[in-house]
């Protein structure tokens, strides 16, 4: 397993392939996640890439198909975009707690991270190739291989052409100023800000401009949202929502479930995110199940990136249960009750986060550090 450059304290959900998330504490250390703490979501082993023979092919509904070497890519104008990637299965552990989900990675609230991506605009590459009439989607293929024998295939997915032409969509070769780690898609990764992480295809080897969404397993079957009454036995894989833009979501990271805090002024903290090019508008917390709300202070708000939020409260000793919710610029907010949005793949859990914690007796002033 190539986990070079990753922090040893990551919570490893799976070794083969490597799936890991930072701890809640690590996650909140900085709005830009250090590369060694960035969550890793993989469906197959990290592929070996020979940088000299590597070519990115641009094909399909284009005037002039391209075969780009890495040097060809590096010669295009470089730009950077701050974007948060979030796995569609983020916050699935809470889904499990309500009703078990079979065969899926039990992510905590940390299958999400934020980085400054450096690379070239996908739109620049599409312009060079010349998109033809009738094109509607841009399908991407990675070098990572799944399946066995005759049924081997590469990971893939697609985004609408309209999105692909937006300036925030990159072919990234840098993450926070450093070359992409092999685990994160070296030498080239699509970064589709505002979309579920799976659409940011790693080890990118082919871009195909086409009329329909990708027929790849991970676009056509996996990463689909089904209604609560559908399960593995009744599912019709041709139906369901092909996940794309993210919904509005938030998490409470401090305190953690069951933690005991000293009474007096204490801080409740977390992150909030939304999808498309929408922005987080407001985050609120409630200590009475949603009847009264307190507005949180937000860190810098911008499209494509999460924001961190903080509420300072004075609480009496005892057990408290805090819930949170975010609102976005389209006036969407989170659904209250996980039980009512449960789905058998455990995707897109954006129900209000809930954390129960204890407040102990006050720490005497002379006992407080510093």
Q: DSSP H helical segments within 13-157, as ranges?
A: 24-27, 70-75, 92-98, 122-129
**φ, ψ (nearest 5 deg) of residue 345:** -95, -5
Q: How far apart are CA 286 and CA 333, in angstroms?
A: 14
Measured from the CB atom, the residue of 3 and 334 that comes closer to a copy of itself is 334
Q: Binding residue for a copy of itself (CB under 8 A) from 16, 151, 152, 229?
A: 229
For residues 269 and 190, give the distance between their C-alpha atoms in angstroms, rounded to a whole number: 31
Q: Provide, rounded to whole angstroms, the least separation between the CB of residue 284 and a copy of itself.
A: 6
Between 26 and 158, CB nearer to a copy of itself: 158
- CA dist 99 and 116 (Å) reads 36
Tell me which residue of 28, 87, 106 sits closest to 309, measured CA to CA. 28
Instruction: Provide, rounded to whole angstroms, the least separation between the CB of residue 154 and a copy of itself.
Output: 26
Q: Does 321 bind a copy of itself (CB under 8 A)?
A: no
The position carrying tokens 């599409």 is 126
Contact 351, 237 (CB under 8 A): no
For residue 338, the Cα-to-chain-centroid distance in whole angstroms is 19
Interaction of residue 89 with a copy of itself, rule CB under 8 A: no
Q: State the nearest-atom distance from the C-beta of 302 to a copy of itself, in Å.
A: 14
Beta bridge partners of 312: 267
Among 9-17, 142-150, 335-343, 361-369, the segment contacting a copy of itself (CB under 8 A):
335-343
- Does the protein bind a copy of itself through residue 72 (CB under 8 A)? no
Considering beta carbons, is residue 32 or 329 the nearer one to a copy of itself?
Answer: 329
* Closer residue to a copy of itself, CB minimum distance, 35 or 333: 333
Q: Say if residues 268 and 255 touch (Cβ distance below 8 Å).
A: yes
Kindly tell me which of 121 and 184 has the beta carbon lying closer to a copy of itself.
Answer: 121
108 or 276: whose CB is closer to a copy of itself?
276
> Are 97 and 62 within 8 A, CB to CB?
no
Q: Which of residues 269-298 bind a copy of itself (CB under 8 A)?
A: 275-278, 281-282, 284, 290-295
Binding of residue 228 to a copy of itself (CB under 8 A): yes
Q: Within positions 15 to 34, which residues make up the interface with a copy of itself, using CB under 8 A?
A: none
Of the residues 133, 236, 238, 331, which one makes contact with a copy of itself according to CB under 8 A: 331
Q: For residues 369 and 216, give the distance between their C-alpha atoms in angstroms, rounded to a whole number.
A: 56
Comparing CA positions, the residue from 198, 171, 150 lying closest to residue 54 is 171
Q: Which residues bind a copy of itself (CB under 8 A)?
A: 162, 225, 227-229, 241, 243-248, 275-278, 281-282, 284, 290-295, 327, 329-337, 339-341, 347-348, 350
């Amino acid at each position: 397993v190539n986990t070079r450059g990753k922090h040893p304290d990551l919570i490893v959900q799976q070794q083969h392939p490597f799936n890991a998330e930072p701890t809640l504490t690590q996650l909140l250390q900085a709005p830009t996640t250090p590369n060694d703490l960035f969550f890793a979501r993989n469906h197959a082993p990290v592929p070996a890439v020979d940088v000299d023979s590597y070519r990115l092919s641009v094909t399909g509904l284009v005037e002039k198909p391209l075969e780009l070497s890495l040097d060809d890519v590096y010669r295009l104008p470089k730009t950077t975009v701050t974007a948060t990637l979030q796995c569609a299965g983020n916050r699935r552990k809470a889904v499990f707690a309500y009703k078990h989900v079979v065969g899926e990675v039990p992510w905590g609230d940390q299958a999400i991270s934020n980085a400054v991506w450096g690379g070239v605009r996908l739109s620049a590459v599409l312009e060079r190739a010349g998109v033809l009439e009738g094109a509607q989607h841009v399908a991407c293929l990675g070098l990572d291989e799944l399946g066995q024998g005759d049924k081997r295939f590469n990971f893939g997915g697609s985004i609408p052409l309209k999105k692909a032409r937006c300036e925030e969509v990159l072919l990234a070769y840098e993450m926070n100023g450093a070359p992409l780690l092999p685990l994160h898609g070296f030498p080239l990764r699509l970064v589709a800000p505002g979309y579920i992480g799976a659409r940011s295809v790693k080890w990118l080897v082919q871009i195909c401009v086409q009329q329909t969404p990708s027929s790849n397993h991970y676009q056509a079957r996996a990463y689909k949202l089904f209604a609560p009454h559908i399960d593995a036995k009744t599912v019709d894989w041709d139906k369901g929502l092909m996940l794309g833009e993210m919904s509005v979501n938030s998490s409470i990271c401090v305190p953690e479930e069951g933690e005991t805090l000293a009474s007096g002024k204490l801080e409740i903290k977390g992150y909030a995110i939304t999808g498309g090019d929408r922005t987080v508008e407001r985050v609120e917390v409630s200590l009475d199940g949603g009847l009264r709300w307190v507005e949180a202070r937000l860190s810098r708000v911008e499209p494509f990136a999460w924001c961190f939020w903080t509420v300072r409260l004075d609480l009496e000793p005892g057990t408290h249960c805090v819930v949170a919710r975010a609102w976005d610029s389209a006036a969407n907010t989170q659904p209250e009750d996980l039980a009512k949005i449960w789905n058998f793949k455990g995707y897109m859990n954006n129900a209000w986060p809930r954390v129960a914690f204890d407040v102990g007796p006050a720490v005497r002033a002379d006992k407080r550090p510093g």
